[in-house]
């Protein structure tokens, strides 16, 4: 194991971490407002394919990113319509959304499979910082979306804890009826959170096709949407903790393809179970502890709100 | 400005759920027509092919029924948990666990007589699926951990376990270094009923029938439904909720595992990574469309199987398989939406809820 390959591992850890973080932040925002969206995998797939298509057509990576975020938000709004406006079962609608997103992505992308990318988000160079040993390549030569993930993490955290909007969003997730009594529109807040979450999942998908693996193929998201769902729980619905979790889970993704290079005789398949097993462990730990302290999960998560039934 | 809002009906519209499914199908057909036209296909030709391939004769029926078997068992697994208000999202993984356990039996019992081997494999599948559900069941029953996430996480674990077995310890040395599990022994295949339809149909029908009766007519099922409709009522009437949760989730996992065993002995030659094939997720949808009623699961599974088989068949006409996936999603969303409207009426703001007049007398 030499220095270059170790640096490579950390670079990939940060990239994969950011990929997971963007999607997980979206899910966190959605869940904070009381809506569980199990359609992350589908929204990521749609983000990935629309970013790629827009990249080929417009040859501008930023336009591609915007298209992906809008598409992600639009798809998420299907879930929003059914679960928030109509009050349908969130689990069923979310899983249907994954089926819809993955199918739609395959349909839209079928003429783009194997094409060279029309636009890429190239790594950002930070002058002298990028030349530093270790730190330079790991933190200061990453794709723009890594920094976007960081900015979004701070932004989501600040909005949720320090603004009226954030307070209202969290209230909608904790107790919809009292939020309603306080004069806020639970419907509007939840629809917004769902759509914003979809935009972030779309951005995460765009990161795949604009930087990480700049091409389109069916099944490109490879179950990473489920890791994002897990991350939210792993990070106890807190943006900061989710970020650390994203690095940890990103590390397992990065390590998976490198085990052999490092001469470690351990199955990469077993390694890839780790994020899910860790999440299960954390869930158990949270619940054992929450006998003394309240659970960090939003109280109203998964519950539809209809004014007439309050 | 008037905002439309939803008002709970006194009782769901009669026949609301079949209607919901029909509306879902109609929406899907409409969207599908647009997609097909967009891709330059003739919708009439495609749709008639779908019908031919799924319901147009004994051979087509056989394939559709074979598909309905895992869908029905997975749907039943979800519905059994659902009738108590629990979500088993882990059927996908439990199917895998069932198939793994059944393959393990086939490995050690390669020279057992057919009937013994098949029965042992199916029992192992039942146990394997149940085993995967034990963790979430205990966590939910004893610690109150939400079963949605635990079962969901275990899906990914079970699928990777199968991958690991196929790439590692169970890799067939005779497969020229391809990551393939060895072929099942010849006598491990379920006998066929007609055409390609296998006996799994009888197994699924029996399990669905028994569960349906158990939920509807036994004291056990009665308690289950009480616990599902109101936790408080269940507590006051002295039903042990945690034991109920434990048994129901494990039974649910076992039924899903059985689906894996039936799929392995019925249609597969060997354990593969894709043997669960999305049946577990589809089962959630089947159960939801059946309103978590075990008796409804059979019908929905059959219709859903026909949609899937029809969708697959048009790939030979050059229609991308994604079209059939999208069609399924629209059946679902159409049905979800229609299901809501069968239970709620739409009111414009300011309008008083109309109390329905008594229809009888």
Spatial separation of the C-alpha atoms in residues B82 and B80, rounded to whole Å:
5
- In A, minimum Cα distance to B285 occurs at A92
What share of chain B in percent tops pLDDT 90? 46
E runs forming strands in B111-216? 192-194, 197-198
Residue B218, judged by CB atoms within 10 A of its CB (0-12, 13-18, 19+), counts as: exposed
pLDDT at residue A175 in the model: 86
**Residue pLDDT tens, chain A, 310 long:** 678 888 889 999 999 999 999 999 999 999 999 999 999 999 999 999 999 999 999 999 999 999 999 999 999 999 999 999 888 889 889 999 999 999 999 999 988 998 999 888 888 888 888 888 888 788 888 889 999 999 999 999 999 999 999 999 999 998 888 888 888 888 999 999 999 999 999 999 999 999 988 899 988 888 899 999 989 988 989 999 999 999 999 998 898 888 877 878 788 888 889 889 988 988 888 888 776 667 788 888 878 877 766 4
Phi, psi angles (nearest 5°) of residue B345: -105, 150
Number of structural domains (chain A) is 1
Please indicate if any CB of chain A lies within 8 Å of the CB of B325: yes
Residues A285 and B324: their CA atoms lie apart, in Å, by: 42
- Closest-CA residue in chain B for A301? B146
Nearest alpha carbon to residue B310 among B56, B58, B55, B50: B50
Kindly give, in sequence order, each residue whose CB lies less than 8 Å from that of residue A264, ignoring residues fewer than 6 positions away. none
Mean pLDDT of chain B: 87
In a domain, A113, yes or no: yes
Residue B278's nearest CA partner among B101, B91, B102, B149 is B91
pLDDT bracket for residue B334 (50, 70, 90): confident
Chain B residues touching A86 at Cβ < 8 A? 6, 336-337, 340, 344
Dihedral, A223, B94, B60, B195 alpha carbons, nearest 10:
140
Q: Is the pLDDT of residue B358 over 70?
A: no
Domain enclosing residue A137, as ranges: 3-225+297-309
**pLDDT value for B12:** 67
Instruction: Give contacts of A269 with chain B, Cβ < 8 Å.
Output: 160, 163-164, 167-168
Percent of chain A with pLDDT over 90: 55
Mutation target among B5, B6, B286, B308 for the A interface, most CBs of A within 10 A: B6
pLDDT per position as a tens digit, A174-186: 888 888 888 888 8
pLDDT at A133: 83
Chain A residues with beta carbon closer than 8 angstroms to that of B328: 99, 103
How much is the pLDDT for A261?
79
Tell me if B321 and A106 make a contact (CB, 8 A cut-off). yes
At B350 the pLDDT is 52
pLDDT of residue A282: 85
Q: What is the pLDDT of residue B356?
A: 47
Classify residue A168 as exposed, middle or buried by CB count within 10 Å of its CB (0-12, 13-18, 19+): buried
* Interchain CB distance below 8 Å, A107 and B353: no
Q: Please report whether residue A258 resides in a domain.
A: no
Residues A129-143: tens digit of each pLDDT? 888 888 878 888 888
Confidence of residue B357 (pLDDT cuts 50, 70, 90): very low
In a domain, A265, yes or no: no
- Report pLDDT for B4: 66
Question: For chain B, what are the domain ranges?
Answer: 80-284
SS (H, E, C) chain A: CCHHHHHHHHHHHHHHHHHHHHHHHHHHHHHHCCCCCCCHHHHHHHHHHHHHHHHHHHCCHHHHHHHHHHHHHHHHHHHHHHHHHCCCCHHHHHHHHHHHHHHHHHHHHCCCCCCCCCCCCCCCCCHHHHHCCCHHHHHCCCCHHHHHHHHHHHHHHHHHHHCHHHHHHHHHHHCHHHHHHCCCCHHHHHHHHHHHHHHHHHHHHHHHHHHHCCCCCCCCCCCHHHHHHHHHHHCCCCHHHHHHHHHHHHHHHHHHCCCCCCCCCCCHHHHCCHHHHHHHHHHHHHHHHCCCCCCCCCCCCCCCCCHHHC
Say what the ipTM of the complex is: 0.86
What band does B237 get if pLDDT is binned at 50, 70 and 90?
confident
Contacts of B157 in chain A (CB under 8 A): 273, 276-277
- Indicate the pLDDT class of residue B235, thresholds 50, 70 and 90: confident
Confirm whether A232 is domain-assigned: no
| Interval B21-38: pLDDT, tens | 788 788 888 888 998 888
- Distance between CA atoms of A43 and A221, rounded to whole angstroms? 10
Say yes or no to pLDDT of B1 above 70.
Answer: no
pLDDT bin (cut points 50, 70, 90) of residue B290 is confident
Residue A215 lies in a domain: yes
Q: In angstroms, how far is CA B215 from the centroid of its own chain?
A: 18
pLDDT at B14: 67
Q: What is the pLDDT of residue B359?
A: 43
- Whether the CB-CB separation of A295 and A24 falls below 8 Å is answered with no
Nearest to B322 by CA among A212, A113, A272: A113
Rounded Cα distance, A204 and B311, in Å: 30
């Amino acid at each position: 194991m030499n220095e270059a390959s170790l640096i490579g591992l950390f670079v990939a850890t940060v990239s994969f971490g950011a990929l997971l973080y963007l999607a997980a932040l979206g899910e966190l925002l959605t869940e904070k407002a009381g809506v569980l969206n199990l359609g992350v995998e589908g929204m990521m797939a749609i983000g990935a394919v629309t970013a790629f298509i827009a990249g080929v057509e417009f040859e501008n990576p930023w336009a591609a990113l915007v298209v992906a975020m809008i598409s992600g938000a639009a798809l998420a709004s299907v879930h929003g319509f059914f679960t928030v406006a109509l009050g349908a079962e969130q689990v069923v609608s979310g899983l249907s959304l994954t089926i819809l997103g993955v199918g739609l992505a395959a349909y839209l992308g079928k003429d783009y499979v194997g094409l060279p990318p029309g636009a890429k988000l190239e790594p950002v160079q930070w002058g002298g910082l990028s030349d530093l040993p270790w730190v330079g390549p790991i933190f200061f030569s990453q794709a723009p979306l890594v920094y976007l993930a960081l900015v979004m993490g701070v932004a989501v955290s600040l909005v949720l804890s320090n603004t009226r909007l954030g307070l209202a969003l969290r209230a909608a997730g904790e107790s919809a009826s009292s939020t309603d009594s306080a004069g806020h529109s639970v419907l509007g807040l939840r629809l917004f959170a769902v759509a914003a979450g979809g935009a972030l999942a779309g951005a995460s998908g765009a990161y795949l096709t604009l930087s990480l693996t700049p091409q389109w193929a069916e099944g490109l998201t490879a179950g990473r949407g489920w890791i994002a769902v897990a991350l939210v729980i792993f990070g106890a619905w807190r943006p900061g903790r989710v970020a650390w979790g994203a690095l940890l889970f990103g590390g397992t993704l990065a390590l998976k393809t490198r085990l052999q290079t490092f001469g470690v005789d351990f199955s990469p398949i077993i390694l890839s179970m780790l994020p899910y097993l860790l999440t299960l462990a954390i869930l158990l730990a949270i619940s054992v502890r929450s006998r003394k302290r309240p659970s960090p999960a939003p109280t109203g998560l998964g519950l539809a709100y209809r004014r007439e039934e309050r | 400005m008037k905002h439309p809002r939803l008002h709970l009906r006194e009782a769901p519209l009669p026949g609301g759920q079949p209607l919901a499914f029909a509306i879902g199908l109609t929406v899907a057909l409409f969207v599908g027509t647009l997609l097909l036209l967009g891709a330059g296909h003739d919708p009439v030709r495609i749709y008639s092919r779908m019908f031919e391939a799924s319901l147009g004769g004994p051979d087509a029926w056989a394939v559709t029924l074979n598909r309905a078997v895992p869908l029905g068992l997975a749907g039943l697994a979800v519905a059994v948990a659902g009738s108590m208000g629990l979500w088993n999202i882990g059927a996908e993984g439990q199917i895998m666990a069932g198939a793994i356990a059944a393959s393990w039996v086939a490995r050690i019992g390669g020279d057992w007589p057919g009937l013994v081997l098949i029965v042992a494999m199916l029992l192992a599948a039942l146990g394997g699926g149940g085993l995967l559900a034990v963790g979430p069941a205990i966590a939910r029953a004893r610690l109150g951990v939400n079963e949605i996430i635990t079962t969901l996480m275990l899906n990914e674990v079970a699928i990777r376990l199968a991958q690991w077995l196929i790439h590692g310890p169970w890799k067939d040395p005779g497969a020229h270094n391809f990551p393939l599990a060895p072929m099942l022994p010849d006598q491990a295949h379920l006998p066929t009923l007609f055409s390609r339809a296998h006996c799994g149909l009888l197994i699924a029908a029996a399990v669905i029938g028994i569960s349906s009766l158990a939920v509807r007519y036994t004291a056990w099922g009665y308690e289950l439904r009480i616990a599902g409709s109101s936790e408080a009522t269940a507590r006051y009437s002295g039903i042990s909720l945690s034991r109920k949760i434990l048994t129901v989730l494990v039974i649910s996992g076992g039924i899903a595992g059985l689906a894996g065993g039936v799929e392995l002995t019925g249609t597969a030659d060997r354990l593969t990574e894709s043997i669960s094939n999305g049946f577990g997720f589809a089962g959630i949808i089947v159960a939801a469309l059946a309103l978590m009623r075990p008796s409804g699961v059979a019908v929905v599974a059959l219709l859903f199987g026909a949609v899937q088989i029809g969708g697959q068949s048009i790939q030979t006409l050059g229609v991308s398989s994604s079209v059939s996936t999208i069609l399924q999603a629209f059946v679902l969303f159409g049905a979800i939406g229609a299901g809501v409207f069968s239970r709620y009426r739409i009111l414009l703001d300011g309008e008083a809820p109309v109390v329905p007049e008594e229809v009888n007398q």
